[in-house]
Amino acid sequence: MKVYLKDGSVREYDKPVRVIDVARDIGQGLARCACAGEIDGKPVDLRTEVPDGSTVNILTFEDDYGRDAFRHSASHLLAQAVKRLYPNAKLAIGPPIDNGFYYDIDREEPFTPEDLAALEKEMQRIVKENIPIERFVCSREEALDRVKKEGENYKAELIENLPDDAEISFYTQGEFCDLCAGPHLMETGQLKAFKLMSLAGAYWRGSEDNKMLTRIYGTIFPSKKELKAHLERLEEAKRRDHRKIGRDMELFMMNDDGPGFPFFLTKGVTLKNTLIDYWREIHLRENYQEIQTPMILNQRLWETSGHWAHYRENMYTTTIDDETYVIKPMNCPGAMLVYNSKPHSYRDLPYRLAELGTVHRHEKSGVLHGLMRVRCFTQDDAHIFMTHDQMIDEIKRIVRLIDEVYLLFGFKYHVELSTRPESSMGSDEDWEHAINGLKQALEEMELNYVVNEGDGAFYGPKIDFHLEDSLGRTWQCGTIQLDFQLPERFDSEYIGADGERHRPIVIHRVAFGSIERFIGILIEHFAGKFPTWLAPEQIRILPVSDKFYEYGETIKKQLVAAGFRAEFDDRDEKLGYKIRAAQKDHIPYMLVVGADEEESGTISVRNRDKRAQTTITVDDFIQAVDKEIIDRQIELIDFSDGQSES
């Protein structure tokens, strides 16, 4: 039989082989790293027999499906340790997740941190035993009989809810056996670098009507070096937590009287307004017209838009004059009304409407998280009305704008194309045309993208931008959604060059996404050390003693007159204390003034990242930092090298 490899080469065998056998034939090193495989592009278990003439690809931890198999095997490792130490515990589910795995367990006595330590030791023993992991398939009746004899009622419920034609499989490792579709590694000895992370409550099947189980979270990597690096990143993420930094820097606060509704403090408002000023600048340049639409609109409007049918559970409502009104969860219906408020010609298109709209969405209390998940936020929204012929060029124009925004902050990003979801509006023809339009724009720009099947909006497909921060974490922010449905539902029109009425196409688009969430991302990305142009307080003047207050105040007036956000520290504290306080507050530039500076009419400058101080004139400082801010540079100027450039 012949087996084709991904590189086009051919392997011949005189008897049937499994995926793992092909991996071993290629090389023992690859076999040791193998986690799963692909046969003709379809992910499979390593134990799968390869049909003659198939193309085989070996998947390792570097591949998404291989990584899931690795983490899934770790969840079984945890479950085996649980059953060894706590035989009466009942197992529910244990899937792989981003950065690790978990297992939901029903146990009469609650788990403790000490239990996690004991479980880790038992997992290490199982790894050292290097137990082979094997798979077998059985009938529904045999499967139910097995799990019921073992008292695993959650597994029995899972089996009973499987489709009639489903293949039911189990995986065993030594004495341990678990219902599972797989895939899994070949032996437990591959699972050496793991750590149990935390405990949480989880309702069975996510329903509050069911019993609360204990969820044990863990993480795992192919090597201890990679595990250590991951744990160090987690510690750094804790240090960068935007909730702590936001509180310490007095940017925003949360209050139990408004859960999920952030309060922006003075410095936070300065930061937010600076972002908005930048947003307005680039949108004015790109010929957008800024609008503001009402926050509360009649239920009938949301029925027309389709949101009432598809998004009702996330909407807040109120009653006015015995009618139901909706506190808007998004801005698009208002933009449709603005477009329809006057007739349009093809000469008006593309017609670009931009709105910084405050929206409210009902989120469950358990998912609220600082600025990252809130119930009230500002969308930097835009709705572009255009002809079919303008669609590709307009998508590319938006991609370039979003690219410019992310590069300004030093973000890398990747792109995903999301297609039609199960619950959606519109014809197959419209959806196909919209998806092909997005694909064509991305391909003409030579942008790599991943297709995310079934994750589009209910009214159209979309391009999502996932940016990567300084810790390597990804965040979905920007989006471009193509919409053929709302113009139809709102009866939007334009008069074409032929004098006839036509339907425009609408693009829904954000760059920041939620400005509040984007600020949270920026706080953690920069660890509170914002670029000077963005920093709420850009300069702090530090007098050596109260003798130099007058000179310091004179310097402040010069800086404020020049447009800088400058403060003067007149506290009765020593200079060293004031410097440490300014560094803790992440102030970009500290200006020390004392006898020498007053006598020479100069200032001693140090930036927050350097210990060295440099004495220069106020005018030279203003000129250099003014250029840094105008250029919106990320790096601070190192005045100690005698240069006035970053």
Question: Is 340 a member of any domain?
Answer: no
Are 519 and 573 contained in the same domain? no
- Tally of domains within the chain: 4
Question: Is 327 a member of any domain?
Answer: no
Checking if the pLDDT of 459 tops 80, the result is no
Rounded to an integer, the average pLDDT of 616-645 is: 87
Q: What is the pLDDT of residue 642?
A: 54
Checking if the pLDDT of 271 tops 80, the result is yes
Q: What string of DSSP letters covers 202-229?
A: EEGGG-TTS-EEEEEEEEEESSHHHHHH
Catalytic residue check, 383 = yes
Angle at 201 between CA 196 and CA 203, to 5 degrees: 125
Output the average pLDDT for the chain: 93
Catalytic residue check, 68 = no
Cα gap 108→12, rounded to integer Å: 55
Rounded to an integer, the average pLDDT of 206-230 is: 94
Residues 6+ apart with CB under 8 A from 89: 82, 83, 105, 106, 107
Residue tagged active-site, from 361, 509, 525, 578 = 361
| Cα-to-chain-centroid distance, residue 429 | 32
> 627-630, long-range: CB within 8 Å, 24+ apart, which pairs?
628/532, 628/533, 629/532, 629/533, 629/538, 629/564
549-561 and 618-630 helices, crossing angle to 10°: 40
3 state DSSP class of 645:
coil
Question: Is 335 a member of any domain?
Answer: no
Are 402 and 276 contained in the same domain? yes
Residue tagged active-site, from 242, 360, 420, 508 = 508
The pairing of beta strand 296-298 with beta strand 323-327? antiparallel
Q: Greater confidence, 214 or 469?
A: 214
Are 360 and 463 contained in the same domain? yes
Are 35 and 96 contained in the same domain? no
Catalytic residue check, 15 = no
Catalytic residue check, 556 = no
Please report which confidence band the pLDDT of residue 257 belongs to, taking 50, 70 and 90 as the band edges.
Answer: very high
Checking if the pLDDT of 643 tops 70, the result is no
Are 272 and 402 contained in the same domain? yes
Q: Percentage of the chain with pLDDT > 70? A: 99
Question: Is 238 a member of any domain?
Answer: no
3 state DSSP class of 368:
coil
Residue tagged active-site, from 379, 390, 481, 485 = 379
Q: Which of 544, 542, 541, 539 is nearest to 594 (CA)?
A: 544
Kindly report, residue by residue over 6-46, the tens digit of the pLDDT.
888 999 999 999 999 999 999 999 999 999 999 999 999 99
Cα gap 632→646, rounded to integer Å: 11
What count of Cα atoms within 13 Å lies in the side-chain half-sphere of residue 314?
Answer: 14
Question: Is 317 a member of any domain?
Answer: no
Rounded to an integer, the average pLDDT of 453-478 is: 87
Rounded to an integer, the average pLDDT of 500-515 is: 95
Residue tagged active-site, from 83, 383, 556, 606 = 383
What CATH number should be reported for the domain holding residue 441? Answer: 3.30.930.10
Kindly report, residue by residue over 198-215, the tens digit of the pLDDT.
999 999 988 889 999 999
Q: What is the pLDDT of residue 455?
A: 84
Are 76 and 55 contained in the same domain? no
Residues 6+ apart with CB under 8 A from 201: 212, 213, 214, 215
Checking if the pLDDT of 646 tops 80, the result is no
What CATH number should be reported for the domain holding residue 551? Answer: 3.40.50.800
What CATH number should be reported for the domain holding residue 28? Answer: 3.10.20.30
Are 469 and 391 contained in the same domain? yes
Question: Is 321 a member of any domain?
Answer: no
Place of tokens 């597994």: 155
Domain boundary among 526, 560, 580: 526
- Residue pair 379/332 in contact (Cβ under 8 Å)? The answer is no
Checking if the pLDDT of 78 tops 80, the result is yes
HEC profile of 118-170: HHHHHHHHHHHHCCEEEEEEECHHHHHHHHHHCCCHHHHHHHHCCCCCCCEEE
Q: What is the pLDDT of residue 5?
A: 92
Kindly report, residue by residue over 44-61, the tens digit of the pLDDT.
999 999 999 999 999 999
Kindly report, residue by residue over 564-617, the tens digit of the pLDDT.
999 999 999 999 999 999 999 999 999 999 999 999 999 999 999 888 899 999
Please report which confidence band the pLDDT of residue 644 belongs to, taking 50, 70 and 90 as the band edges.
Answer: very low
- Residue pair 66/129 in contact (Cβ under 8 Å)? The answer is no
Please report which confidence band the pLDDT of residue 421 belongs to, taking 50, 70 and 90 as the band edges.
Answer: confident
Q: What is the pLDDT of residue 645?
A: 38
What CATH number should be reported for the domain holding residue 188? Answer: 3.30.980.10
Rounded to an integer, the average pLDDT of 494-520 is: 95
- 143 is in which domain, residue-wise? 69-229
- Residue pair 316/307 in contact (Cβ under 8 Å)? The answer is no
The pairing of beta strand 539-543 with beta strand 316-320? unpaired
Query: pTM of the entire structure?
Result: 0.84
Tokens of 246: 């936001």
Residues 6+ apart with CB under 8 A from 184: 45, 69, 72, 73, 76, 133, 135, 171
Question: Is 326 a member of any domain?
Answer: no
Q: What is the pLDDT of residue 410?
A: 92
Are 453 and 559 contained in the same domain? no
Catalytic residue check, 332 = yes
Q: Which of 40, 51, 41, 66 is nearest to 17 (CA)?
A: 51
Are 457 and 361 contained in the same domain? yes
First-to-final CA distance of the chain:
64
Domain boundary among 496, 526, 556: 526
In one-letter notation, the amino acid at residue 257 is D
Residue tagged active-site, from 76, 283, 328, 462 = 462
Kindly report, residue by residue over 389-405, the tens digit of the pLDDT.
999 999 999 999 999 99
Are 500 and 544 contained in the same domain? no
Are 543 and 595 contained in the same domain? yes
Are 52 and 93 contained in the same domain? no
Residue tagged active-site, from 33, 177, 332, 477 = 332
Residues 6+ apart with CB under 8 A from 180: 72, 76, 169, 170, 171
Domain boundary among 475, 499, 526: 526
Question: Is 199 a member of any domain?
Answer: yes
Rounded to an integer, the average pLDDT of 275-280 is: 97
Q: What is the DSSP letter of 504?
A: P
Kindly report, residue by residue over 316-355, the tens digit of the pLDDT.
999 999 999 999 999 999 999 999 999 999 999 999 999 9
